[in-house]
Amino acid sequence: MRGVRIVNNLNIKKNSDELWQFFSNIQKFAAIVPSVIEYRMVDDVTFVGKVGVTLGKIPVRSKLTFNITKKNAPSFMEAEGVSYLGEAVVSMKKSGKETTEVNKKSVGRIATTLNLIALSASETRVEFVADIIAEGRLRKIYESIIKFKVPLLKNQFVENLTKELGITVEQLPEPENVEGPEYPDAAPKKKGKIRQFFSRKKNQGEENHEVTTEGELLESRQ
């Protein structure tokens, strides 16, 4: 089972050091994250806010916490986000208790990497990857939304970046055969009482068979 991976490779006619200063600033980074409709800064590496997409005529909103977890100046950065998916169904639920339950058990986890490659003194390749894994009762719905919205999210990232930098950003063709991140291995299923009973019987039978065979072997040697 795999999640969703978004790959966005760009060529930008700007010095890599200048771009590093831009991307490593969490407030500026927040302004270009696709679908973010509002945010506030928590500290110099974290912001919280809301992301929103529209499914047909239905607006879908989710809470988001995002923070930069690793910086290798002046070219590489990692960031992680958590989206609380229950916010998306508040208007569809009549019971506040039910909504709270969905919200606590429905989470989207986002891991992003940003790599800057200097092509020349005035041009830089930007490689952006976002891996998204959903958990809980809304997992399938969330993944369907993301997969459907991938082209829009990529274009919005480019538009936001173009607006913030004030220069044209070239979006490169998407790599072929992009696979999403693998989900963590599921815990092994516990055996029911009936399966446990027959499993014990099978093991006992194998043990008895081994004892008999060994006894016969000793007797034959005598």
CATH of residue 77's domain is 3.30.530.20
Structure confidence at residue 169 as a pLDDT band (50, 70, 90): very high
What is the distance between the alpha carbons of residues 128 and 7, in angstroms, rounded to a whole number? Answer: 6
Same domain, 98 and 50: yes
Q: Average pLDDT in the 155-171 region?
A: 94
Which residue's entry shows tokens 């970046």?
161
Q: How many domains does the chain have?
A: 2
Min mean pLDDT across 15-19, 126-130, 180-184 is at 180-184
**Strand, coil or helix: what is 139?**
helix
Q: Which of 4-18, 38-52, 100-114, 165-179 has the lowest mean pLDDT?
A: 100-114
Quick one: 12 and 99 in the same domain?
Answer: yes
177 assigned to some structural domain: no
* Statement to judge: residues 101 and 205 lie in one domain: no
Mean pLDDT of the chain: 79
pTM of the model: 0.72
In this structure, the answer to whether residues 51 and 81 fall within a common structural domain is yes
Q: Looking at the domain assignment, is residue 183 inside a domain?
A: no
pLDDT digits (tens, 9 = 90+) for 26-54: 889 888 988 888 899 999 999 999 887 77
Residue 202 lies in domain: 191-222
Residues 13 and 75 in one domain: yes
